[in-house]
Chains A and B, each alone.
Chain A
Amino acid sequence: MAMNYNAKDEVDGGPPGAPGGTTKTRRPDNTAFKQQRLPAWQPFLTAGTVLPTFFIIGLIFIPIGIGIFVTSNNIREIENPSKECEPYRRNEDKPIAPCGAIANSMFNDTLELFLVANESDPTLTLIPLKRKGIAWWTDKNVKFRNPPGTESLKERFKDTTNPVNWLKPVYELDPEDEDNNGFINEDFIVWMRTAALPTFRKLYRLIERKNDLHPTLPAGRYYLNITYNYPVHSFDGRKRMILSTVSWMGGKNPFLGIAYITIGSISFLLGVVLLVINHKYRNSNNTADITI
């Protein structure tokens, strides 16, 4: 066997080939994929890439932050804190529509806003509050549906009872408007969109903008009438009524503006610090012995 071994044999890992025989070669293919020579981009973080990045982040974030912050500050908001009330009462009951604790705890205070005409004349003008258009379109038209049928809503819900804490049954949430009654009542839908954090706000009503000649809420004294049904005392809850305008970035929320300005400034500062460090160490590295 040793005599027949041929150094020029290209078979690796296999037994010495038979003299003159064609043994199958197990050599891996010489493709770029298999020989790990794929064309590639090999980035390397140098001072030339990293330092400008920090400065660019700073330069971009700070104006964005200022823009957002200014927009947020332009949003006018009026708050009205409410007082705590009597203890919460509960009793047990049967088939409930809509069921569940979240539905049971539905918010049922009513608020009415009046404009006082002037100092001498105490007549109150009711500000029209729109009760539709407050829930997400997909919720209102797709997710929440009333039980099907042609008879009246009261008939369709006849074998159910209202949730324990509700004053009226679900088919009486808005008797005037068939499109806003039952499960598709927008106040109900808004409530069912469960909040993520313990402090949250929900849209109660919309005040429609009049044409630009007349201000929607002219300056003057206003009178807010609250029908206080919803008890929050038991869990130390607080209720607030907030009148707010909206913009492209939503309600008044200075967080993003401040965060952008802060991060932009920090980034800029870090860029400066790194520039100094780079200058100092790069010089010392160049003079150091790099021979290996």
Chain B
Amino acid sequence: MGANDVSMIKAAHIGVGISGQEGMQAMLNSDFAFSQFCYLQRLLLVHGRWSYNRMCKFLSYFFYKNFVFTLVHFWYAFFNGFSAQAVYDTWFITCYNLIYTSLPVLGLSLFEQDVNETWSLHFPELYIPGQHNLYFNKKEFVKCLIHGIYSSFVLFFVPMGTIYNSERSDGKDISDIQTFCLIVQTSLIWMVTVQIALKTTYWTMISHFFIWGSLGFYFCILFFLYSDGLCLMFPSIFQFLGVARNTMNQSQIWLSLILSVILCVIPAFGYQFLQPLVWPVNVDKVFDRINHCKTRPPQVRVRTKLKHPSLRRSAYAFSHKQGFGALITSGKTTKTKPNKKNSFPVKK
């Protein structure tokens, strides 16, 4: 496009330039540039749609995990005399957003797809949610907040109920602050992991690695931070000596963990199933149809070979000289090249 279109491109939310015969001005000022106008279809319906999807999932999940993380302190305040005593180990607070939960979110925002590119192109209606701001708006944010409040409630009161006035299996202490911190931390990590697992609909090997790997990494770091060596070297910084070892072998801790995770996840799980059923939007019908087609692949029409007694070709032969008639009736000039199917986004 020409230089007079530059102002139009700059004024738009997303300016797309097409490199062509009229110079590079438009391209240099645009957000996206490509060489053929038909690529716009893929840009919008496939990549644009995926990008919107990923962004919305990322945002709602990120807000959710931080709400759960923080609001537990609200519930604890009623029991610690409003002293702002933290429910987590200080190292956990540092590492939570940086190490334990960063990779899964990254994986979600890089690889997530709701439907693959073929279906995206086949059903342009799937683009409508982006236009109507359907996947992340004030209502979605409020849902996220409510889910976070509920999860933090469960995350605090289930461990509290477990250790309240209770002991270990050998009678020793279990209701100390360090054990409580450990239980709440571990339940939180499991809970947000299961939540992102529910949100991910496109599981590549990398997604598996990021999600389950982060969980395993949490346990490795946990045992490292609470090990004898480190705590004895820096006693004022690492104070949780022996807590992991002494607590993780108690079955009531694991039972409490399972209970809090299931309790948090059930509402989201049920809602995710119920919403397209009872309050469907147009997009849900499309998804329904896509899944219907996926589970029941269309009947492949068996092409019956047309049997000819002899291969007929239509051909006109004008012969001004002897010999060309044979060339034309041999059929070589009427054969068509087979259609090559390729899914390159660039090649036509």
Contacts and interface: CB of A to CB of B under 8 A. Distances in A.
Interface of A: 1-2, 5, 10-16, 27-28, 30, 35-47, 50, 53-54, 57, 61, 64, 68, 134-139, 142-143, 190, 193-203, 206, 244, 246-251, 253, 255-256, 259-260, 263, 267, 270, 274, 277-278, 281-282, 285, 290, 292
Contacts of A28: 346
Interface string B159-194: 011111111111111111111110000000000000
A201 B80 CA distance: 16
Nearest to B200: A43
A64 B158 CA distance: 16
Contact of A292 (B35, B170, B252, B289): B289
Contacts of B266: 54, 57, 267, 270
Contact of B251 (A11, A135, A249): A249
A197 B162 CA distance: 12
Nearest to B165: A201
A116 to B, nearest CB: 26
Given A250-B169, A292-B125, A57 B262 contact: yes
A134 B172 contact: yes
A250 B168 CA distance: 4
Given A13-B33, A292-B123, 17 more contacts: A5-B21, A10-B347, A15-B24, A38-B204, A42-B202, A139-B241, A142-B232, A142-B242, A196-B163, A196-B180, A244-B167, A246-B167, A249-B169, A253-B162, A263-B262, A267-B262, A290-B285
Contacts of B90: none
Q: Which of A15, A27, A134, A259 neighbours the largest number of chain B CB atoms within 10 Å of its CB?
A: A259
A196 B204 contact: no
B172 A135 contact: yes
Contacts of A267: 262, 266
Q: For the complex, would chain A's binding face be called helix, strand, loop or mixed by DSSP majority?
A: loop
Contacts, number: 208
Nearest to B113: A36
B235 to A, nearest CB: 8
Contacts of A194: 176-178
Interface in B135-171: 158, 160-171
Interface centre among A5, A47, A263 (most CB of B within 10 A): A263
A135 B289 CA distance: 63
A2 B21 contact: yes
Please indicate which of the listed interface residues B27, B158, B166 has the most CB atoms of chain A within 10 Å of its own CB: B166
Contacts of A135: 172-173
Contacts of B167: 201, 203, 244, 246, 250-251
A199 B270 CA distance: 36
Interface in B68-106: 79-81
Given A138-B228, A196-B175, A256 B161 contact: yes
B222 interface: no
B291 A44 contact: yes
A138 B245 contact: yes
Leading 4 A-B pairs by shortest Cβ distance: A138-B242, A196-B180, A12-B35, A255-B161
Contact of B277 (A38, A137, A247, A277): A277
Contacts of A13: 19, 27, 33-35
Given A42-B201, A136-B173, A190-B173, A53 B346 contact: no
A198 B113 CA distance: 48
Contacts of A259: 158, 161, 259
A199 B165 contact: yes
A142 B34 CA distance: 66
A31 to B, nearest CB: 12
B201 A281 contact: no
13 contacts: A36-B113, A38-B204, A40-B113, A50-B269, A50-B270, A136-B242, A196-B176, A197-B164, A246-B167, A250-B166, A250-B168, A292-B125, A292-B286
B278 interface: yes
B255 interface: yes
B172 A203 contact: yes
B19 A143 contact: no
Contacts of B256: 256
A193 B176 contact: yes
Contact of B178 (A35, A40, A193, A253): A193
Contacts of B166: 201, 250-251, 253
Contacts of B164: 197, 199, 253, 255
Nearest to B32: A13
